Amino acid sequence: LAQSLDALIRVEIPVLASSSVMIVAVMTMLATMLIYFITRRFFDQLFVKEEISQTERLGEYTTQVSRSLRLNEILGALVDVIRDTLNVKKIYICIRESDGSYPATYSSSPLDDRNFSMDQGHPMVAWLRSHDTCLLLRDFRRTVEYKSMWEDEKHRLDTMKIECVLPLKDNNDLVGIVLLGRKEKKGKFQWGYTVEDISFLNSLESVSSIAVKNSRLYEKAYLEARTDELTGLLNRKYFYEVLEENYEKCRKTSLTLVIFNVDDFKLYNQLYGNNEGDKALVHIAQIIKGTVGSNGYCARYSGKEFAAILPDYDIYSAQNLAENISRQIQNMNRNSSDTYLKTLTVSCGICAVPYAASSLNELVSNADRAVYHVKRSGKNGILVYSDGIIGRRDTDEGLAKKHKSMYSEYAPTIYALTAAIDAKDHYTFQHSKNVAYYAEAIARAIGTSDEYREILKEAALLHDIGKIGIPENILNKEGKLTDEEYDAMKRHVESSVEIIRHLPNMDYVIPAVLGHHERFDGKGYPRRIAGKDIPLAARILCVADSFDAMVSKRCYKPSMSVEFAVGELEKGAGSQFDPELVPLFIEMIGSGAVVPVIDEGLMKE
């Protein structure tokens, strides 16, 4: 064009022929500037404006997620900013769970199929862990990781029309995965993911990953603050919040509260240890939660108490549910391969508004009172609260008299059983009375209650009752027992427990009877438990039983001196005997607080 313009000037305007080169140069410069200006405006409108828009949206998104700790709010904002900025319609977000899997948690439409998950060993997950940028599926298809995927996994990505994958990483921690479908058409053009898009997504990733991780930490802390650590049910504090919320919601209908109190749980812990007790509580919690389901709320009301909040339940429905739960708890150990000497039961109290309470405090108080009434009536029962069912409470003095009369009631049975064994083995009856004397003295010295000493005394009288089932030729054998005979002799512990189990309300003596042949070092029998895991009553009986066995005359041995028996107790302190009880017992013998029973006539009452 410059050459043609120069020729035109020279022919048509001869007067300017000498300046034609300068004129052409100036005109060319002006034309170039005009073309540059127009082109710049065009590209500014096309690209820079879009970049400015992305920057503004990124700033708005950052501000929005920094103000929220709710995961769904953060994921919703992430979907919105990607959809509006990049014009992507299909978006799926997978958030890592505690087991390491990545289930689909959120999507751009509530109608999307989110019934899929990627486990921690998924090839795409492995690739994203080792890279810090977006993954374009067209590039991923050429990798070894893609070829190692299952065909159904590849088919799902194709069906969902996924074209880009955005990792949500906080340092090297992959907290989530965003699956992006194809970009929609803009006018007549179909745009793929550009370098600018990838840069924008990477900027979103750095903000989103931190926001998601913080929200998960918050939700975890929120959940832990409201749930019981052992059972996973609502804790006591949150139980009252939920109860109050449902009380307000159910003002025009009904709200039922059911409280389950585990019977004799302290005894269960003594028999099987705290670990087994915790397992039992977890099992009970699962039974209650599984039975109530989505119809109500379950809580651990206290250490051995559980509660079920049942909105819109009437009394009859709540009673049927409580009976179902009670029956399951009672049967939960029956199919176990282990032998349980004590099955668990629950005392259950039910109260409902507006039928038997007019306020929230009355609802809880009346349910508690119903539980207490079941406890006093023999446990293992269900009671619906109504006016007049609860009598007056006994005073502490009244309860003490009640306990004393209960032991007095069973005393004839106990002495009848010990007399029965006396007919077979004269040593056992007197020995049991001696052990009761020593054990009660030790218990008094360490400051136990009157009730505890009464239980210990009954346990001492019954601890060898199982010998009634051992053949007389073994009981009265003068020589050393064979291994088979010794095994038969050791079985008297389980036999004693089997007999005691059938005595009404006497199961509290079982821990002492069952453990009186356990050793402090764990080498005893029948359970081989050690140290403080052995119930205190059993450790006391062990000392008293061993001392009397040494100072008493038997058909297979002469009586030993008190000094010799004391020396043996000292040698066994810490291995066979409780090292704290032995010095105390020896001191009591030395001071005269305990008089060794060498002859029946010296027995102190």
Lowest-pLDDT choice from 181-190, 283-292, 516-525: 181-190
497 falls in which pLDDT band (50, 70, 90)?
confident
Q: Which of 430, 441, 414 is nearest to 588 (CA)?
A: 441
Q: Which two tokens stand for residue 225?
A: 């603050």
Higher pLDDT: 251 or 411? It is 251
DSSP 350-374: EEEETTS-SSHHHHHHHHHHHHHHH
pLDDT given at position 601: 39
Structural contact between residues 365 and 359, judged by C-beta atoms closer than 8 angstroms: no
If asked whether residues 546 and 407 sit together in one domain, one would say yes
pLDDT given at position 577: 93
If asked whether residues 485 and 584 sit together in one domain, one would say yes
Q: Which of 281, 275, 296 is nearest to 332 (CA)?
A: 281
If asked whether residues 515 and 561 sit together in one domain, one would say yes
Strand, coil or helix: what is 166?
A: strand
Q: Choose the final residue of a domain: 393, 427, 447.
A: 393
Mean pLDDT of 238-258: 91
The amino acid sitting at 401 is K
If asked whether residues 83 and 204 sit together in one domain, one would say yes
If asked whether residues 78 and 162 sit together in one domain, one would say yes
Q: Choose the final residue of a domain: 393, 409, 441.
A: 393
Cα 475 to Cα 464: distance, rounded to the nearest angstrom: 12
Mean pLDDT of 130-135: 89
325 falls in which pLDDT band (50, 70, 90)?
very high
| Residue at 30 is within a domain | yes
Mean pLDDT of 284-288: 94
pLDDT given at position 80: 92
Mean pLDDT of 313-342: 79
Instruction: Write down the pTM of the prediction.
Output: 0.52
* Total domains present in the chain: 4
Show the CA angle centred on residue 517, arms to residues 434 and 461, nearest 5°.
30
Q: Which two tokens stand for residue 252?
A: 């025009």
Q: What H or E segment, with its residue span, contains residue 164?
A: strand 162-170
Q: What is the pLDDT of residues 79-115, one digit of tens each?
A: 999 998 888 989 999 999 888 899 999 999 888 888 8
If asked whether residues 481 and 452 sit together in one domain, one would say yes
Q: What is the pLDDT of residues 328-366, one digit of tens each?
A: 998 887 655 555 556 788 999 999 988 888 788 889 988
If asked whether residues 267 and 377 sit together in one domain, one would say yes
Q: Is the pLDDT of residue 604 over 50?
A: no
If asked whether residues 428 and 576 sit together in one domain, one would say yes
Q: Which two tokens stand for residue 253?
A: 């209908």
Give me the residue label for tokens 């050429």: 142
CATH of the domain at 119: 3.30.450.40
Strand partners, 174: 169
Q: Which long-range contacts (CB under 8 A, 24 or more apart) does 2-6 make?
A: 2/28
If asked whether residues 25 and 146 sit together in one domain, one would say no
If asked whether residues 111 and 173 sit together in one domain, one would say yes
Cα 561 to Cα 576: distance, rounded to the nearest angstrom: 20
Q: What is the pLDDT of residues 511-563, one digit of tens each?
A: 888 888 999 999 998 888 889 888 888 999 999 999 998 988 776 677 889 99
| Residue at 241 is within a domain | no
Structural contact between residues 247 and 345, judged by C-beta atoms closer than 8 angstroms: no
pLDDT given at position 273: 80
Mean pLDDT, rounded, of the chain:
83
| Residue at 194 is within a domain | yes
Q: Choose the final residue of a domain: 358, 393, 428.
A: 393
If asked whether residues 208 and 262 sit together in one domain, one would say no
DSSP 318-341: HHHHHHHHHHHHHHTTTT-SS--S
Domain span holding position 301: 254-393
If asked whether residues 292 and 364 sit together in one domain, one would say yes
Tally of CB atoms within 10 A around 126: 14
Q: What H or E segment, with its residue span, contains residue 202?
A: helix 195-224
Helices 581-591 & 536-551 angle (0-180, nearest 10): 50
